[in-house]
Amino acid sequence: MVRLAVIGLFVVGVFFLIQYVFRGSEDEASAGEPEASEMVECQNCATYVPKQEALEWEWEEKGAGKYFCNEDCAKAFAEKKSAD
Ligand SMILES: [Zn+2]
């Protein structure tokens, strides 16, 4: 049982290490970007998602960015819009 706990701790440790390394490289890529805590609303399903994870869709006719939780929502919204 103790061995299982040690293995569990090891797995969690490796997971956090990978996450740390991944975030480190991501921070370098997006240097100068605002903090990730900003939430934006998906225009299709009204789910709030972190701005960094949201899909930004530029609408030519309005020129303003809209946010979606994923590409499917963006497509669904575009289809709804074109159906009007
Ligand atoms: Zn959505």
Residue type, 84: D
User: Which residue from 73, 37, 38 is spatially nearest to 55, judged by alpha carbons?
Assistant: 73
Please report which confidence band the pLDDT of residue 61 belongs to, taking 50, 70 and 90 as the band edges. low
Q: For the chain, what are the domain ranges?
A: 1-33, 34-84
Residue 13 Cα to ligand 1 midpoint, Å, equals: 33
- Helix ranges (H only) for 1-84 are 2-29, 71-83
Residue 45 Cα to ligand 1 midpoint, Å, equals: 4
Dihedral over alpha carbons 27, 28, 29, 34 (to 10 degrees): 50
Q: Taking residues 57-74, what's their average pLDDT?
A: 78
Residue 67 Cα to ligand 1 midpoint, Å, equals: 9
CATH class of 34-84: mainly beta
Distance CA 61, CA 64 (A): 9
Q: What is the pTM of this model?
A: 0.49
Residue 69 Cα to ligand 1 midpoint, Å, equals: 4
Q: Give the pLDDT confidence score for residue 29 in this predicted structure.
A: 56
> Which percentage of the chain shows pLDDT scores above 70?
77
Residue 23 Cα to ligand 1 midpoint, Å, equals: 24
